[in-house]
Amino acid sequence: MDVRADIGGCAPDARRSADGRSDGVVGSARPTWNDACDASGCGCNVRVHGGQRDPVRKASVVRLVRIAVVVTVMVVGCQSDPVRSTAQRLYEATTPAGGSATAFLFSREPSLATASWEVRPNMDWESYLQWVATQLMEQRFERSGAAIAEVTFTRTLEGDTQKLGIRPVGNATSLRVAVTFQSLPL
């Protein structure tokens, strides 16, 4: 079926390609600009394909909308929660080189933020305690209490009291350490 783009009296057949097809023929293998309309200045220079607007142009608009959404999400994401950022830094600080950690879980309520993760250090409990105490003291945490089964570090920072609890889980041959973080407003 030969459908032609006839918009407001423009001459879609005014220019023919080398193979003899009219550039104004809709349904041809490739959509083209109606150059006759461009030259006449009638303002109907619409690319046509199957009687509809150009799918390439539609895809470009969709692509631009997607890019705008991604940029918006990135900008909003950059304005992250400072308590969450602190917890993520502590996640990194409690995982020794050569060790590993499980997924970081974070939750926030109006008056409490918590995070938890599990570390598999490549050392025994006593060595890990010494190593992690050094890491946390660099971040102004102080050890509170002398218990060995669960060690707690605390600090007051930016109007919040932050606590980090560390306790061994599992057996002596495969040490795992459960770490919990809490941030409470003063």
pLDDT of residue 181: 96
Q: How many helices (H) and strands (E) does the chain have?
A: 4, 11
Domain count, the chain: 2
Q: Are residues 16 and 57 in the same domain?
A: yes
Q: Specify whether 22 is located in the same domain as 86.
A: no
CB 47 within 8 A of CB 25: no
Q: How many CA atoms lie within 13 A of 83 on its CB side?
A: 25
Residue 179's φ and ψ, nearest 5 degrees, are -120, 130
Residue 69 sits in the same domain as residue 86: no
Give the three-state DSSP class for 138. Answer: coil
92 and 24 share one domain: no
For position 4, what pLDDT does the model report?
Answer: 45
Where a domain ends, among 50, 77, 104? 77
CB 12 within 8 A of CB 6: yes
Do 64 and 36 lie in one domain? The reply is: yes
Element (H, E) at 100: strand 100-101
**pLDDT at position 136:** 95
Note whether 91 and 177 are same-domain residues: yes
107 and 169 within one domain: yes
Does residue 49 sit in the same domain as residue 95? Answer: no
Q: Look at residue 170 in the predicted model and tell me its pLDDT.
A: 78
CATH code at position 178: 3.30.310
* 3-class DSSP assignment, residue 178: strand
Point out the domain boundary residue: 17, 42, 77.
77
Q: Would you give per-residue pLDDT tens digits along the chain (186 residues)?
A: 444 444 444 444 444 445 555 455 455 454 454 544 445 555 554 455 455 556 666 777 777 777 777 666 555 555 578 899 999 999 999 999 999 999 899 999 989 999 999 999 989 888 999 999 999 999 999 998 777 788 999 999 878 899 999 999 977 678 899 999 999 987
Let me know if 4 is exposed, middle or buried by CB neighbors in 10 A (0-12, 13-18, 19+): middle
Q: What is the pLDDT of residue 71?
A: 64
What type of residue is 29?
Answer: A
The residue from 77, 104, 123 where one domain ends is 77
Domain containing 26 equals 3-77
Query: pTM for this structure?
Result: 0.56
Same domain, 61 and 148: no
Q: Do 163 and 120 form a contact (C-beta atoms < 8 A)?
A: no
